[in-house]
Amino acid sequence: MKLQSAVASWPGFCPICLRETRFTARDAWFRDHLFCESCDGGSIPRERALMLAIRQLLPHYAQLAIHESSPASRGVSRLLAAEAPGYVPTQFFPGLPLGSLQDGVRCEDLEAQTFADESFDLVVTQDVMEHVFHPERAYQEIYRTLRPGGCHIHTTPIYKWNTETAQRARLEPDGRVTHLAEPEYHGNPISGEGSLVTFHYGYDLPELITRWTGFDVEIRRHCDRTHGIVAEFTEVIVCSKPAF
């Protein structure tokens, strides 16, 4: 089969694998297709943006207690699993008791976690928060499980044309899902059915997070060819829990 020719390619330095590399895309949608040629399994711009923030803010990350919800099989997830002994990956496995393990991955509901208060120094989520039905509960639980001075460093699409966040689906008390907009699905690492998008976040996301929790919130935006962070939706949201 003939390999599609590259639509873009340039040299740079990857903040995940820490190698001189080439960033190459064979599709114009760089967000999902601008790969690092040196990363095991490849990496894409939002993943590199996330790891760049972790390295800059928490250079000693390998020594920390880390929770990652819904990890991927490449990039940041693979790196943290390899380098941080205190790394705990979780997924929500329907039908499995919360707190139990499946193939070394702990079953957790991000909105109702079984972890004790102040268990972690760092919580990582990569494009997860747009799939939860009650983001306020998820952020509150993350805040609860972080130690003072800890961080939730994460990505989720922020729609630059949305001044206000738009809810797209609602979970009813009887478990039914009511769609408030045309259903939209993203890839799911444990299900071929995909993950339903429940929210399109707007520029009010930091305000919402601070309303729901005690976090200080910073959003980092990038146009960084050197590190291969050139794409839509590469914002990194840094939520810091006050030290005192």
Instruction: Evaluate if residue 63 carries a pLDDT over 90.
Output: yes
Q: Is residue 35 part of a domain?
A: no
Domain annotation covers residue 226: yes
Whether the predicted pLDDT of 1 surpasses 50: no
Mean pLDDT of 108-116: 97
Instruction: Judge whether 87 lies within some domain.
Output: yes
pLDDT value of position 157: 96
pLDDT recorded at residue 190: 60
For 168-196, the pLDDT digits (tens) are 999 999 989 999 999 999 876 666 677 89
Contact in structure between 82 and 66 (CB atoms under 8 Å) = no
4 is a domain residue = no
CA distances from 130 to 31, 92, 122, 201 (A): 16, 15, 20, 7
pLDDT at 75: 94
**Does residue 244 have a pLDDT over 90?**
no
pLDDT digits (tens, 9 = 90+) for 12-48: 999 999 999 999 999 999 999 999 999 988 999 999 9
- Per residue in 208-232, pLDDT (tens digit) is 999 999 999 999 999 999 999 999 9
The CATH number for 141's domain is 3.40.50.150
Helix (H, G, I), strand (E, B) or coil at 53: helix
Rounded CA separation 132/151 (Å): 20
In a domain, 222, yes or no: yes
pLDDT for residue 2:
45
Amino acid identity at 187: G
Is pTM beyond 0.75 here?
Answer: yes
DSSP codes of every residue in the chain? -PPPPPSEEEEEE-TTT-SEEEEEESSS-HHHHEEESSSTT---HHHHHHHHHHHHH-TTGGGS-EEEES--SSHHHHHHHHH-TTEEEEE--TTSPTT-EETTEEE--TTS--SPTT-EEEEEEES-GGG-S-HHHHHHHHHHHEEEEEEEEEE--B-TT-SS-EE-EEE-TTS-EEESSS--EEEETTEEEEEE--EEB-TTHHHHHHHHSS-EEEEE---BTTTTB-SSS--EEEEE----
Mention every residue, 6+ apart, whose C-beta is less than 8 A from residue 58.
64, 121, 122, 151, 153
Q: What percent of the chain has pLDDT over 70?
A: 96
53-71 average pLDDT score:
97
Tokens of residue 221, six digits: 């935006």
Q: What pLDDT does 41 receive? A: 83
Q: Inform me whether the pLDDT recorded for 121 exceeds 90.
A: yes
pLDDT at 238: 98
Residue 14 covered by a domain: no
Q: Domain count for the chain, please give it.
A: 1
Domain that holds residue 112: 44-240
